[in-house]
C-alpha cells in the first residue's frame, strides 16, 4: 500500500513539475519575447527607446511614425498557438506595407539561421500575403539554402533580394526570397503554400502584452509560422526587415526539446500502476 501511494504521489508531482517548467518564464499568453536589441537606438525622446526594438526605428529615421517593427515571439504551446510557432509582430500592416512621401515600403520575408553565422541563411520563409483576404488566404513556403560545405550539392543557392537606401547604413541587408534553394519536406509533406496565420491590428494582449507600438491605439499586426521543421532543441536566429531598411528585427531562440506530452506521461504512469497492482495480486494468489 505504501509503495503504491508513493508511486501515485511521484506521478502527480512529475506532471505538476512538467507543467510548471512549460510555462515558467513566458508571457501571459504563452509567448516568449526572443527579440535581440540590434544596438541601433533612435534616442530617448518621448516613447522612443534607445535599447528596445519595440517602438523604435533606426538612427536617422523619423520617430513617431508608429509603423516600426515590434518583436519576435516563440510559443511554448500553452497559449493559442502550437509549440514552436514563431510570431513576428509589427506596428504596421505587413500585407500592404507603408506608402509615405511617394515611396512604398513593403515588408520582407523571414530568414532563419541555425549555425549563428548570419552571413549565410539556412532557411527562408517566403511570405505570400493575399491582398483581398490576408487572414484566410495568405500562405508561406519554406526554402532550404544550398549547403556551402557540400560540394556535391546540386541545389542552386538562394538568391536574396536586399534592402536599398535607408538610415544607418541599412542597405544591402536580406529582405525577401528571390529564387533558388529547395522546398523543405517535413514528416513526408512539402512545406509549400502553407496556411499563414495573419492577424491585422490585433491588440497587444493577443501576442503577449507589454508592447507599445502605436501609443494611441495599441494595435499590432502578427504573422505566425511553424518552426517544427527545425527539429527539437535547435538553436536559431530569425531576421526580418522592410525594403528601405528603416527598421529591422533580429532574434535568437531555441526550439523545445522533444519531451512526452502530459497525456502520454499519464498513460505511462497508469500502465506502471496497473502492472504494480497485477504483480501484487499474483503474489497474494501464490501465498
The answer to whether 74 and 141 have CB atoms below 8 angstroms apart is no
Q: List the one residue out of 89, 137, 85, 145 whose CA is nearest residue 112.
A: 145
46 & 68 share domain = yes
- DSSP letters along 81-132, please? S-TTEEEEEESS-TTT-EEETTEEE-B--EEEESSS-TTS-SEEEEEE--SS
The set of long-range contacts for 46-50, using a CB threshold of 8 Å and a minimum separation of 24, is: 47/212, 47/215
List all residues 6 or more positions away from 211 whose beta carbon is below 8 Å from its beta carbon: 54, 55, 70, 71, 89, 204, 218, 220
143 & 49 share domain = yes
11 & 87 share domain = no
- What is the rounded CA–CA span in Å between residue 62 and residue 45? 12
114 & 250 share domain = yes
Global pTM value:
0.79
How many domains does the chain divide into? 2
**Residues in a beta bridge with 8:** none
213 & 159 share domain = yes
One digit per residue, the tens of pLDDT, for the chain of length 287 reads 555 555 554 444 443 333 333 332 234 567 888 999 888 877 666 667 777 788 788 887 777 666 678 889 998 887 767 888 999 988 888 998 887 778 788 899 999 999 988 889 999 999 999 999 999 999 999 999 999 889 888 899 999 999 987 776 788 999 999 999 999 999 999 999 999 999 877 777 666 667 776 555 567 888 999 999 999 999 999 999 988 888 889 999 999 876 554 444 444 455 445 545 545 555 555 55
22 & 43 share domain = no
159 & 273 share domain = no
Residue 134, domain extent: 34-256
Phi and psi for 38 in degrees, rounded to 5? Answer: -90, 0
171 & 239 share domain = yes
65 & 147 share domain = yes
199 & 269 share domain = no
120 & 151 share domain = yes
45 & 135 share domain = yes
Amino acid at each position: 500500500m505504501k509503495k503504491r501511494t508513493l508511486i501515485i504521489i511521484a506521478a502527480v508531482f512529475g506532471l505538476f513539475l512538467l507543467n510548471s517548467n512549460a510555462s515558467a518564464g513566458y508571457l501571459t499568453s504563452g509567448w516568449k519575447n526572443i527579440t535581440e536589441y540590434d544596438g541601433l537606438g533612435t534616442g530617448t525622446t518621448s516613447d522612443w527607446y534607445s535599447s528596445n526594438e519595440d517602438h523604435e526605428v533606426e538612427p536617422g529615421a523619423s520617430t513617431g511614425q508608429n509603423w516600426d517593427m515590434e518583436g519576435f515571439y516563440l510559443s511554448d504551446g500553452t497559449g493559442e498557438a502550437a509549440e514552436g510557432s514563431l510570431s513576428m509582430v509589427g506596428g504596421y500592416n505587413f500585407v500592404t506595407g507603408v506608402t509615405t512621401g511617394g515611396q512604398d515600403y513593403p515588408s520582407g520575408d523571414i530568414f532563419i539561421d541555425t549555425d549563428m553565422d548570419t552571413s549565410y541563411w539556412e532557411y527562408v520563409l517566403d511570405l505570400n500575403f493575399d491582398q483581398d483576404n490576408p487572414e484566410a488566404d495568405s500562405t508561406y513556403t519554406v526554402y532550404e539554402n544550398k549547403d556551402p560545405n557540400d560540394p556535391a550539392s546540386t541545389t542552386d543557392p538562394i538568391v536574396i533580394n536586399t534592402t536599398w537606401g535607408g538610415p544607418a547604413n541599412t542597405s544591402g541587408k536580406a529582405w525577401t526570397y528571390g529564387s533558388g534553394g529547395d522546398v523543405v519536406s517535413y514528416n513526408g509533406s512539402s512545406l509549400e503554400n502553407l496556411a499563414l496565420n495573419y492577424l491585422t491590428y490585433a491588440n497587444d494582449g493577443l501576442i503577449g502584452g507589454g508592447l507599445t507600438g502605436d501609443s494611441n491605439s495599441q494595435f499590432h499586426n502578427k504573422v505566425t509560422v511553424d518552426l517544427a521543421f527545425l527539429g527539437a532543441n535547435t538553436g536559431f536566429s530569425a531576421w526580418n526587415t522592410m525594403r528601405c531598411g528603416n527598421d529591422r528585427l533580429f532574434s535568437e531562440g531555441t526550439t523545445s526539446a522533444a519531451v512526452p506530452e502530459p497525456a502520454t506521461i499519464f498513460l505511462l504512469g497508469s500502465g506502471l500502476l496497473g502492472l504494480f497492482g497485477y504483480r501484487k495480486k499474483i503474489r497474494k494468489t501464490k501465498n
